[in-house]
Amino acid sequence: MSARVFVCASCGRAVFPRRLLCPDCGGREFRDEQVETATLEDFSDRGQVKLGAVRAPSGPLLIARVEGDPRRGGEVSLDEDGDVPVARA
């Protein structure tokens, strides 16, 4: 299980979501990088769904659907549902 972040082929900056240009160097080429775990920085329970701010080890912040019993500051495993990141506590 993993989710994707996008890494600039020119300078190595990781971003999420994919950008047209790298915010650091202006590069146009990105490669996909799989991320299996991340840190849950915060989450909000919206009734039927929990949304969380998840920090990948390479730096980008992903907004993900959170499943399970989340804990702020805890490690989560990442997956994707189509193009939607899913964090599992």
CATH code for the domain in which residue 39 is found: 2.40.50.840
Instruction: Retrieve residue 43's tokens.
Output: 């989450």
pLDDT band at 23 (very low <50, low <70, confident <90, very high): very high
- 35-80 pLDDT, tens digit per residue, is 999 999 999 998 899 999 999 999 999 999 999 999 999 999 999 9
Structurally, how many domains does the chain consist of? 1
- Which domain covers residue 61, as residue numbers? 3-88
* H runs (alpha helix) in the chain: none
> What pLDDT score does 5 carry?
97
* Inter-CA distances, 21 with 2, 28, 40, 58, 87, Å: 24, 5, 27, 18, 27
